[in-house]
């Protein structure tokens, strides 16, 4: 027990240092973590780390999906729902079919059901890998929305394909009509389960006297409740979590207090970072276990098959993206589409974002060792090794080259004619105008008598003056000229206040709790200033 705790604490420390290394060399941290795990797996004396698939599906997957759903824009998700749905379901199933027939034709002893099993395992791209890489690259909002939306749903369709293929292999029978009916039942009832449980948590948050700490705990309970309830009835736990997460996220401002939202975001950012770090590190650490599992199989042959399947996976996704673009042009003649001329640049980039991750590896590991009265599961070790190679190739090769592909394609923002900086200035100006008008309309007579109201009125007028000046000039240049200097001076003032508060804390006359309240207020003020000017100048360093 103690050795396991020490191992995982050491793993978390290693993750922190690898993420810092990734930031320094400007490479997405999932890639560095996988490669770091690979390097650590060769360290002599390190005990083998075996991934428990139940641990991934039950402990890691629900909160990671839930966090991704909360961060997804429902407005953009709905706008691109057809593209997201076609890739999350149609393209995943198509990819599974292609993998099934290719693997059946090139791997000796690999039956078609085994091919579908492999296809269901490696067909879904990983959510975190793509979004973490795109986060540090200037890319269109459309691409981020579609990639995030697809990754929220594709695990469900791939796991369903995996489940049907596994059942066919174990039982030796497969009825297509029953499989299609079961597929829709699993999806629809997963959606219904997620909505029902989400409504229960909606009522708890909104009408019961919860505190910020209680609200945060409830947000952790919700995804596990949705996932376990759906899986208990053999529905899609992934669809349940995503559905519930999107619904509660859309209504978060009506059911959560401002303190609950602030605390929840901070806690979830930390937990999500740790969970993502662990799962990517485990992929690399799993190599010795996977290689040893090959037994008498040729390592050279296994690598060859893995590279061929990896190439097929990459090409199939790009071809599917291009095909979807052509289909959109054709279908737009009959129905209204979000973009009737998607071109080839954006689909190609989207096709290149198909990095696989830990869900694929956990699915492969969940294949039973024995079937039919004690017989070894056919080709289990080969499936597991091919899955690992596909993850490694797509994550490292495509992940490292994705920034170059995006720059090469040079796709411009098509959906928002106004830049994010200009949107930020416009919104802040409208908010300041509305606040100033309300004060003048309702509280004009109180202003001369209330110094706090006078200060507030002066601040709003000052903000409007600054925003008007920035709007007339270049927002980016204005950010360099004014915002950077303002932030540095404000940071210096806040640090001076903190020093003074710590001096007060040494005196008996001041309670430490009062001092802590003021320190917390300074932290909120500093974060408010940072967020306030975040869109104005992305190049400014965080402090």
pLDDT in tens, 119-153: 999 988 876 677 777 776 777 778 888 888 888 88
Any domain includes 152? yes
Any domain includes 124? yes
Kindly state whether residues 392 and 463 are assigned to the same domain. Answer: no
Indicate whether 539 pLDDT > 60: no
**Terminal-residue alpha carbon distance, the chain:** 39
pLDDT in tens, 496-530: 888 988 888 888 888 888 888 888 888 888 877 77
Any domain includes 21? no
Kindly state whether residues 377 and 427 are assigned to the same domain. Answer: no
- Please tell me the distance from the alpha carbon of residue 122 to that of residue 128, in angstroms, as a whole number: 16
- Please tell me the distance from the alpha carbon of residue 515 to that of residue 507, in angstroms, as a whole number: 11
More confident residue, 67 or 335: 67
Other Cβ atoms closer than 10 A to 237: 30
Among residues 129, 138, 150, 157, which one has the least CA distance to residue 72?
150
Indicate whether 298 pLDDT > 50: yes
Indicate whether 175 pLDDT > 70: no
Any domain includes 44? no
Kindly state whether residues 444 and 317 are assigned to the same domain. Answer: no
User: Per the structure, how many domains does the chain have?
Assistant: 2
Any domain includes 142? yes
Kindly state whether residues 197 and 125 are assigned to the same domain. Answer: yes
Any domain includes 151? yes
Kindly state whether residues 400 and 424 are assigned to the same domain. Answer: no
Indicate whether 34 pLDDT > 80: yes
Kindly state whether residues 212 and 104 are assigned to the same domain. Answer: yes
Which residue in this structure is represented by tokens 């037994």?
Answer: 295
Q: Kindly report the pTM of this predicted structure.
A: 0.83
Beta pairing partners, 376: 370
Indicate whether 215 pLDDT > 90: yes
Indicate whether 417 pLDDT > 80: no
Residue 508's domain comprises: 420-532
Hey, which of 245-249, 363-367, 400-404, 481-485 has the most confident mean pLDDT?
245-249
**CATH number reported for the structural domain that contains residue 137 in this entry:** 1.20.1530.20
Looking at residue 210, its pLDDT comes to 92
Beta pairing partners, 371: 375
Residue 425: both structure tokens together? 């200035």
Which residue in this structure is represented by tokens 């229960």?
Answer: 200
Final residue of a domain: which of 409, 442, 459?
Answer: 409
Indicate whether 44 pLDDT > 60: yes
Model confidence at 543, in pLDDT bands (50, 70, 90)?
Answer: very low
- Please tell me the distance from the alpha carbon of residue 390 to that of residue 125, in angstroms, as a whole number: 11
More confident residue, 283 or 198: 198
Looking at residue 226, its pLDDT comes to 96
248-257: average pLDDT: 89
Looking at residue 188, its pLDDT comes to 92
Kindly state whether residues 393 and 433 are assigned to the same domain. Answer: no
- Please tell me the distance from the alpha carbon of residue 7 to that of residue 277, in angstroms, as a whole number: 15
Looking at residue 213, its pLDDT comes to 92
Model confidence at 540, in pLDDT bands (50, 70, 90)?
Answer: very low
Kindly state whether residues 399 and 447 are assigned to the same domain. Answer: no
Q: What is the mean pLDDT of the chain?
A: 83
Any domain includes 10? no
Model confidence at 88, in pLDDT bands (50, 70, 90)?
Answer: confident
pLDDT in tens, 10-24: 888 999 999 999 989
DSSP 313-350: HHHHHHHHHHHHHHHHHHHTTTS--S-S--TTHHHHHH
Kindly state whether residues 180 and 297 are assigned to the same domain. Answer: yes
Residue 487: both structure tokens together? 């932030």
| Percent over 90 (pLDDT), the chain | 21
Kindly state whether residues 333 and 302 are assigned to the same domain. Answer: yes
Final residue of a domain: which of 385, 409, 433?
Answer: 409
Kindly state whether residues 453 and 472 are assigned to the same domain. Answer: yes
Any domain includes 404? yes
Kindly state whether residues 238 and 385 are assigned to the same domain. Answer: yes
Looking at residue 533, its pLDDT comes to 63
Among residues 304, 313, 315, which one has the least CA distance to residue 391?
313
């Amino acid at each position: 027990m103690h050795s396991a705790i020490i191992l995982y604490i050491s793993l978390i420390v290693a993750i922190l240092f690898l993420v810092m290394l990734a930031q320094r060399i400007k490479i997405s941290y999932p890639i560095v973590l996988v490669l770091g795990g690979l390097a650590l797996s060769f360290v002599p004396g390190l005990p083998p780390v075996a991934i428990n698939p139940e641990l991934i599906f039950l402990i890691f997957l629900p909160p990671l999906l839930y966090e991704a759903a909360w961060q997804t824009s429902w407005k953009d998700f709905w706008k691109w729902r057809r593209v997201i749905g076609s890739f999350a379901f149609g393209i995943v199933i198509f990819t599974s079919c292609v993998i099934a027939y290719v693997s059946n034709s090139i791997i000796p002893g690999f039956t078609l059901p085994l091919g579908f099993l492999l296809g269901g395992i490696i067909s879904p791209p990983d959510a975190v890998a793509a979004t973490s890489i795109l986060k540090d690259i200037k890319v269109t909002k459309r691409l981020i929305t579609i990639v995030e939306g697809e990754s929220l749903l594709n695990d469900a369709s791939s796991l369903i394909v995996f489940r049907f293929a596994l059942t066919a292999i174990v039982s030796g029978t497969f009825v297509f009509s029953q499989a299609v009916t079961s597929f829709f039942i699993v999806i629809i009832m997963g959606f219904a389960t997620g909505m029902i449980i989400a409504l229960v948590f909606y009522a708890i948050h909104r009408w019961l006297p919860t505190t910020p700490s209680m609200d945060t705990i409830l947000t952790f309970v919700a995804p596990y409740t949705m996932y376990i309830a759906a899986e208990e009835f053999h529905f899609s736990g992934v669809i349940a979590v995503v559905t519930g997460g999107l619904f509660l996220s859309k209504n978060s401002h009506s059911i959560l207090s401002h303190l609950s939202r602030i605390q929840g975001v901070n806690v979830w950012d930390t937990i999500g970072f740790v969970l993502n770090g662990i799962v990517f590190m485990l992929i690399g650490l799993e190599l010795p276990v996977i290689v040893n599992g090959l037994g008498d199989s040729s390592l050279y042959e296994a690598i060859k098959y893995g590279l061929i399947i990896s190439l097929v996976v990459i090409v199939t996704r790009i071809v599917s993206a291009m095909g979807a673009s052509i289909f959109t042009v054709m279908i737009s003649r009959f129905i209204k589409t979000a973009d009737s001329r998607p071109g080839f640049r954006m689909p190609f980039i989207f096709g290149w974002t198909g990095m696989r991750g830990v869900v694929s590896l956990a699915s492969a590991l969940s294949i039973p060792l024995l079937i039919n009265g004690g017989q070894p599961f056919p080709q289990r070790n080969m499936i597991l090794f091919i899955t690992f190679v596909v993850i490694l190739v797509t994550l490292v090769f495509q992940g490292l080259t994705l920034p170059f592909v995006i720059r090469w394609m040079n796709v411009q923002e098509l959906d928002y004619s106004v830049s994010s900086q200009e949107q930020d200035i416009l919104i802040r100006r409208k908010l300041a105008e509305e606040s100033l008008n309300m004060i003048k309309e309702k509280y004009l007579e109180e202003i001369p008598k209330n110094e706090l109201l006078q200060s507030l009125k002066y601040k709003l007028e000052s903000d409007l003056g600054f925003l008007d000046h920035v709007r007339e000039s270049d927002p980016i240049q204005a950010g360099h000229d004014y915002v950077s200097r303002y932030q540095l001076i404000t940071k210096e003032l806040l640090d001076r206040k903190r020093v003074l508060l710590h001096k007060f804390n040494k005196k008996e006359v001041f309670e430490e709790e009062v001092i802590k309240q003021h320190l917390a207020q300074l932290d909120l003020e500093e974060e408010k200033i940072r967020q306030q000017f975040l869109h104005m100048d992305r190049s400014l360093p965080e402090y």
